[in-house]
Structure 1
């Protein structure tokens, strides 16, 4: 390949990647701020500062754009979570810091954007067919990430159930935060739940019998 052609192709590929990323980020922001109905390819393209034609070159339909945006942002958020885990405090306070992080995932822009899509998919069979595999992936990866952050043993089924309960709690707190600022009550719940979770995990690691098994 001619060196001049190679050098030309690289900047073009970089521009294409940047354009794609701007579109995906603009889609999430638009869903969270304006909702499903307002998040069209044209609106997203304008928000991203690119032409509608350029947007449709990357994502021919609105459904292509929105599902790609959710997957991209979720993957980016989970990768950031893995990196953040190395900076969390050791010893007392670690479990609360982790639970706080998990809840933040469900009270941020990505969750609010995803909620718009899940709601629309409930009454749209074609969209639901596209969204269900994403929801299943999100659940698996979020659980795996939480397990790794909390240091749960792979074979400890009870600890795994507590991790899932923690994620369910985080999702519920995220829903409660959609319409009103629930931050004060949320902080109190996180503190109490983290103390209970920490106690359970400590007993599991030390081999103590659970007083009440989760069904």
Structure 2
């Protein structure tokens, strides 16, 4: 494009997708930085730089917004993990890794809040199924028949537990603890 050519015009679908992505990213940032209680639609509006009408058009409730944001992050995280170059030596530690960073922080905020918030718990049920399906499908793609579905399910639960307990450990002690637990778990899986 020369300096005299006008910039290409984005389609309505492209503008809508860009607005939606900005809103979802702003919601994730707010969940991670402020927690669920302080992640309001007004805060997400401010962070995303969109009108209240635009936000409500895409997400009519706070629950639909935060659940969609975590779902968006799940998709991005799974894509990132599955698109890495394969070494052939991938093992269950990939699942442990999946429960780290902003994805886990945002999801944890929702899990804890859903314990006492019926509307959020109801909105999260499909998301939890989506996460479970993504982990199952991703694990099958990464590991083939190396692990059984029950071993994968138990590994997911172990990963969640390690991620929750990580909150109360220092990074160094967490790394050492997680390495010990993961070594033991791999030994158990390999022995079967």
Same fold (TM over 0.5): yes
Q: Give the number of aligned pairs.
A: 182
Flag the 1:194–1:49 CA change in 2: closer, same or farther, 3 A. farther
| 1:204 equivalent in structure 2 | none
Q: CA deviation at 1:168?
A: 1.4
For structure 2, which runs of at least 5 residues remain unmatched after alignment? 1-7
| 1:174 equivalent in structure 2 | 163
Flag the 1:52–1:102 CA change in 2: closer, same or farther, 3 A. same
1:160 is aligned to 2:149: yes
Q: How does 1:35-74 map to 2 (within 5 A)?
A: 35-74=35-74
Partner secondary structure for residue 38 of structure 1:
coil
Over the residues paired in the alignment, what is the CA RMSD in angstroms?
2.2
**Correspondence for 1:126 among 119, 124, 131:** 119
**Correspondence for 1:113 among 100, 106, 117:** 106
Distance in 1 of aligned mates of 2:130 and 2:14: 28
Kindly provide the CA deviation profile for residues 62-110 of structure 1, in whole angstroms up to 9, marking residues without a partner as x: 11211111222212222222212xx1322xxx24xx3332112112211
Kindly provide the CA deviation profile for residues 4-40 of structure 1, in whole angstroms up to 9, marking residues without a partner as x: xxx86x4333222111101111211211221111111
| 2:27 equivalent in structure 1 | 27
| 2:182 equivalent in structure 1 | 190
1:78 is aligned to 2:78: yes
| 1:89 equivalent in structure 2 | 87
- TM-score normalised by the chain length of structure 1: 0.75
CA contact (8 A) 2:64 2:123 kept: no
CA contact (8 A) 1:70 1:114 kept: yes
Distance in 2 of aligned mates of 1:12 and 1:137: 28
Distance in 1 of aligned mates of 2:69 and 2:122: 17
- TM-score normalised by the chain length of structure 2: 0.83
Flag the 1:50–1:180 CA change in 2: closer, same or farther, 3 A. farther
Distance in 2 of aligned mates of 1:121 and 1:146: 27
For structure 1, which runs of at least 5 residues remain unmatched after alignment? 1-6, 201-209, 211-215
Flag the 1:179–1:49 CA change in 2: closer, same or farther, 3 A. farther
